[in-house]
Amino acid sequence: MSKHDTRPPVDREFIERAASAWIRAADAGVIDARELAWLLAHLNAGLPSEIVGVPG
């Protein structure tokens, strides 16, 4: 990370919160299943079931 980089490091809590928010958005119909799959795949954090703690 450069000294001018103001982005916070991505940690496990951020990944879990992002995944949970996207899943809630899909449940509410705000995003569709393809968008959800794309977002989760690009988190680069493992299987979605591992991220949100759902037994797969």
pTM for this entry:
0.60
pLDDT of residue 12: 79
pLDDT of residue 21: 93
Q: Is the dihedral of CA 46, 47, 51, 56 positive or negative?
A: negative
Answer for the pair 19, 45: CB distance below 8 angstroms, yes or no.
Answer: yes
Q: Three-state DSSP class for 1?
A: coil
Listed by start position, the domains of the chain span 12-46
1-52 confidence digits (pLDDT tens)? 556 666 666 677 888 888 899 999 999 999 999 999 888 888 765 555 555 5
**Could you give the angle at the alpha carbon of 26 between the alpha carbons of 24 and 30, nearest 5°?**
105
Q: Which residue has the higher pLDDT, 56 or 21?
A: 21
Instruction: State the CB neighbour count (10 A cutoff) for residue 17.
Output: 11
Q: Which two tokens stand for residue 3?
A: 């000294």
pLDDT of residue 25: 95
